Amino acid sequence: MKTKIDLKLFSVTTPILLFLASSNCGYNTIQEEDEAINVSWAEILNQYQRRSDLIPNLVDTVKGYAAQEEKVLTEVTKAKVRRE
C-alpha cells in the first residue's frame, strides 16, 4: 500500500518538477530576446541621431548653392535684357 502511495506521489511530483525546471529555460530565452530587441532599437536610434546631425550640413550646402544659383540667374537675366 505504501509503495502505491509513493508511486502516485512520484508520478505527480515528477511532471511538476520537470515543468518547473524547463520553465527557467523559457525565462532565459525571453530575457535574451528582450535584450536583442533593446540592442536593435538602440541601433535605430543611433541612425536617427546620425541623420539629424547631417541636416545642418545639408542646409548649409543648399544655402551655398542657392546663393550661387541666384548670382547665375541674375547674370543670365541681365544678359538677356542687354541682348534685346
* Cell 544659383 sits on residue: 69
Alpha carbon distance 13, 75 (integer Å): 93
Domain ranges, residue 52: 1-83
The 3 state secondary structure assigned to the chain is: CHHHHHHHHHHHHHHHHHHHHHHHHHHHHHHHHHHHHHHHHHHHHHHHHHHHHHHHHHHHHHHHHHHHHHHHHHHHHHHHHHHC
Residue-wise pLDDT for 30-75, tens only, equals 889 999 999 999 999 999 999 999 999 999 999 988 888 888 889 9
pLDDT value at residue 40 = 98
Instruction: Give the pLDDT mean for 20-24.
Output: 69
pLDDT value at residue 23 = 63
The pTM (predicted TM-score) of the whole model is 0.50
Q: Is 2 a residue whose pLDDT tops 90?
A: no
Number of domains the chain contains: 1
